């Protein structure tokens, strides 16, 4: 079996920046064990496996694996997968329905500046628990922070748009950039809370037009730090809307974030939040991508 494999940098227009993902284009004959071994070999935070089989309600299936396990959905690997799929199949300005472990989700391929922007609609918004004082203390030890460095106007809360993350508001970018995690503490906390990802962010982005700057850690699933994370910034949009930091708009409210700067993998993402009288209902994230290389694996 000869597999077509791409290496793609997502949420950037510059190679070697943004978030790298591997994309296996013709994965329909692979079993779970083979997918996991390939993801471990590629050793990116996620590898996307495209199964080009049309179903009654979808155009293709995509599965996502970290080096250690399968995850239901991944933002930057979705952008990578649909960027190369749309280029290979000459698709622009069209919606593709992808089947994932988080449900059937639409992805829109938009023409932009002679290339493509990939717009991913995320899964249902779910607001999880707000951390107790004891949980916050454990979290702060895991991040080597103290209480005064948190933004006390917002809660530490679990939010999901398909793959849950802990939202951690930080007062200053200097503090955000200085975080050094204790993987063991965060992994133990993940087991207690059922949430594997920790997204620390600040409004102190120090760049015009950028609402927030962030960092995402998920040691419990083998990701020490993820450079630019769709399934952290989507929940961030829902969280900020719910807590009144961005306006509720039926026609959608859009803001831009940057992530990965502290580890020299800076990337940019747009977050779009659509609300009604009951609050935020739909979240989309969008970004650009660049192909780094294409190769083949024979197994």
Collect all residues with Cβ–Cβ distance below 8 Å to 196 and sequence separation of at least 6: 164, 190, 218, 220, 221
Catalytic pick among 46, 61, 225, 261 = 46
Distances (CA, A) of 10 to 129, 143, 179: 30, 26, 24
Across 282-291, b (16+ Cβ under 10 Å) vs e yields: bbbbbbbbbe
d(Cα 94, Cα 86) in Å, to the nearest integer?
9
Phi, psi dihedral angles at 41 (to 5 degrees): -65, -45
**Do 256 and 211 touch, CB atoms closer than 8 A?**
yes
Residue 133: active-site member: no
Given a contact cutoff of 8 angstroms between Cβ atoms, the answer to whether 64 and 71 are in contact is yes
Q: Which residues are catalytic?
A: 46
């Amino acid at each position: 079996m000869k597999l077509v494999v791409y290496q793609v940098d997502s949420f950037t227009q510059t190679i070697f920046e943004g978030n790298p993902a591997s994309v296996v284009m013709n994965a329909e004959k692979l079993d779970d064990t083979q997918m996991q071994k390939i993801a471990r070999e590629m050793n990116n935070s996620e590898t996307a496996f495209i199964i080009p089989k049309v179903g009654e309600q979808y155009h293709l299936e995509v599965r996502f694996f970290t080096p250690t396990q399968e995850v239901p959905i991944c933002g930057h690997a979705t952008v990578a997968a649909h960027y190369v799929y749309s280029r290979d199949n000459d698709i622009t300005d069209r919606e593709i329905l992808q089947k994932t472990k988080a449900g059937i989700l639409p992805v829109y391929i938009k023409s932009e500046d002679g290339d493509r922007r990939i717009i991913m609609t995320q899964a249902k918004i779910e607001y999880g628990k707000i951390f107790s004082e004891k949980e916050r203390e454990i979290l702060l030890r895991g991040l080597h922070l103290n209480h005064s460095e948190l933004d006390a106007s917002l809660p530490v809360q679990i939010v999901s748009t398909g793959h849950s993350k802990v939202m951690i508001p930080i007062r200053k970018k200097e503090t955000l950039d200085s975080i050094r995690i204790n993987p063991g503490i965060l992994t133990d906390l993940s087991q207690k809370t059922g949430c594997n990802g920790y997204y620390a962010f600040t409004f102190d982005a120090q760049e015009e037009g950028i609402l927030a700057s962030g960092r995402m850690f998920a040691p419990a699933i083998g990701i020490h730090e993820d450079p630019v994370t769709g399934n952290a910034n989507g929940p961030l949009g829902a969280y900020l809307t719910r807590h009144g930091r961005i306006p509720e708009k039926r026609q959608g409210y859009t803001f831009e974030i940057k992530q990965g700067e502290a580890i020299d993998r800076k990337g940019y993402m747009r977050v779009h939040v659509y609300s009604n009288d009951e609050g935020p209902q739909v979240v989309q994230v969008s970004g650009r991508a660049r192909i780094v290389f294409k190769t083949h694996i024979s197994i």
